[in-house]
Every structure is written in structure tokens, then in C-alpha cells.
Amino acid sequence: MLISPQGMSFEYVIPIKPTSTNNQTEYEAILKGIQLLHEVKAKSIEIFGDSQLVVNQLLGLYECKDDVLRKYYEECQELFNSFTSLIINHIPKNQNHEANRLAQSASGYRQIIEILADEVVADEDWRKDIIEYLKNPSKQVSRKLRCKALKFVLLDDQLYHRIVDGVLLKCLNQEEAKVLMGEIHEGVCGAHQSANKMKWMIRRASYFWPTMLENCFKYYKGCQECQKFGNIQKSLASAMNLIVKPWPFRGWAIDLIGQIFPSSSKGHKFVLVATDYFTK
């Protein structure tokens, strides 16, 4: 986010490689910002960043020893020489609201929050019948639905699932579930876990929908990164079958037995054994 002396604000979002570390991302943001300021021929700039490591390295208080970060550090220092006045400040993350908002918007995190906050129930939502019954218990419904609704609670028009120990889990529809599975499996805190681990993490985060485990299996089996970097299946796809030689004497062997005692009736002292692998 660039702010002019007159108070005008300019927002800019750039894509970052998924393999980039937090420090690389901080350097990318600062580098892009000063490049834009250099292009508009700014003379005096003041930089605010919430990464203590990156700010202190640029100020010269910390030494930049990492080879990858060194490249960003040198590019920033080279651009700093084009400004007549330069101030670099470190601010806490809780004072960096606007920049954090842009980062969350670009990463999709803010969309997740907005989706989870949306309480509009669609017609095809699995929660619809339960919510309507809990709002009006006198409504004529099937016995199956009445028994099913005993496990749910409606609080402020939001449906919750009550588990055995009394904890309430927020119920999600299928679209919300897809977003949540993406964040759990390969998001900021994701580690490409298996389906059972995904389900455990989702329940621990207090969310629920009926087909949770089935959807988790489908999601992680369709993850491209999991398929690309997963363990290679070394076992054969089918059982091995013996192949018989197609004609006699295609494969054969001959061996010489040592001298026999006593000799045969015809005076033979040695025996040659030949084996044809087709007829044995």
C-alpha cells in the first residue's frame, strides 16, 4: 500500500510463489513498493513493515547471511541510493491492518471469512429442512427428520451440531466446506494431510457437515501436489504370469555328468544330459 503526502492511498497486489518463505514474501513486498516509487520519481519515502528481521536487516542492525534473502537485500539497497531521504520503521502486526487486509484478500483468506460469515441458506443446502423444523417445531415433518434434529441446535439463525460431550460444531454447506478443506489441506497452515487427519482438524476447529470424511478423501486424492510428490507405488498392478516358450528347443541346456562306475553294459563311462525347457 502506497500513501502519498496528500493522503491518497494506492493499493497494489502481486502474486507470490507458493514455495516462498515468510521472509521472502516480506522482501518481495518491500522491493516492489520501492520499485514503484522509483518509477514515479519519488524523492523522500518512509517504509513501514511488520517483519522485525527484514526491517533490521535493511537498517543494518542485522546481518543478512541467507543466500536467497541476500539477493533481495542487495536489490533493495541499490534502489535506496536513488532516494534523497529514506526512513524505515518497524510496526507491530496489529497496526498493519490495511496491508494485512490486502494480503488476506489476495490469498483468498478474506473470502473464506466472508463465506463463513454468510448465513444465507440455499434451497439445496442440507441444513435447510433442519433449520426450518427447529424454527417451527410444530411443523409436520417425518419422524426421521425429528430424530435427526435432536442432534442440532439453532443459535442466532446459525445451525450447530451437538456432539456427545456437548461441544457445538458450526454446520457448513458444501461450498463453505470446499473452501475450508482447501485451507486445511493446502492453505497457509496446511501440510497436505490425509483424509482422516483433515477430518480431525476440521472437527477440532469446530466445524461439521454430514459427508465430512467422504469429501476429505475425495479432496486429498484429487490434490495435484499429493499425486506429484507422493510415494511411488512399487508393487505390480497385477499378478505375474509365467510365459511358456513358443516352440521346442527355443531354450535348452546341456550338462555333462562325471565318470560313472561301473561302466554301462555297452562300455559307456560318461553321460550327457540335455534339457528342453518347453517339454522338460
Torsion of CA 54, 55, 57, 61, to 10 degrees: -140
- 121, with CB counted inside 10 A (0-12, 13-18, 19+), is middle
Q: Between 113 and 224, where is the model more confident?
A: 224
Over the stretch 210-260, which tens digit does the pLDDT of each residue have?
A: 988 898 888 877 777 777 776 766 777 778 777 665 777 778 888 888 888
Average model confidence (pLDDT) across the chain:
82
Lookup result for grid cell 463463513 = 116
Q: Are 100 and 1 in contact (CB under 8 A)?
A: no
Q: Within the chain, which residue ranges are assigned CATH 3.30.420.10? A: 2-105
Q: What is the DSSP string of 213-239?
A: HHHHHHHHHT-HHHHHHSPP--S-SS-
Q: Are 68 and 24 in contact (CB under 8 A)?
A: yes
Query: How high is the pLDDT of residue 119?
Result: 46
Averaged pLDDT for residues 47-71:
88
Phi-psi category of 166—alpha, beta or left, where left has phi over 0 and alpha has psi -120 to 50?
left
Query: How high is the pLDDT of residue 171?
Result: 92
Over the stretch 148-201, which tens digit does the pLDDT of each residue have?
A: 888 999 888 889 999 888 889 999 988 888 888 888 887 766 777 888 888 888
The model's pTM: 0.40
Lookup result for grid cell 513501514 = 48
108-229 carries CATH number 1.10.340.70: yes
| DSSP helix/strand/coil, 127 | coil
Q: Within the chain, which residue ranges are assigned CATH 1.10.340.70? A: 108-229
Please list the alpha-helical segments (H only) found in 81-207.
97-107, 109-117, 128-135, 143-149, 174-186, 195-204
**Taking 50 as the threshold, does the pLDDT of residue 117 lie above it?**
no
Lookup result for grid cell 426421521 = 144
Phi-psi category of 257—alpha, beta or left, where left has phi over 0 and alpha has psi -120 to 50?
beta
Superfamily of domain 2-105: Ribonuclease H-like superfamily/Ribonuclease H (3.30.420.10)
**Taking 70 as the threshold, does the pLDDT of residue 207 lie above it?**
yes
Q: Between 53 and 116, where is the model more confident?
A: 53
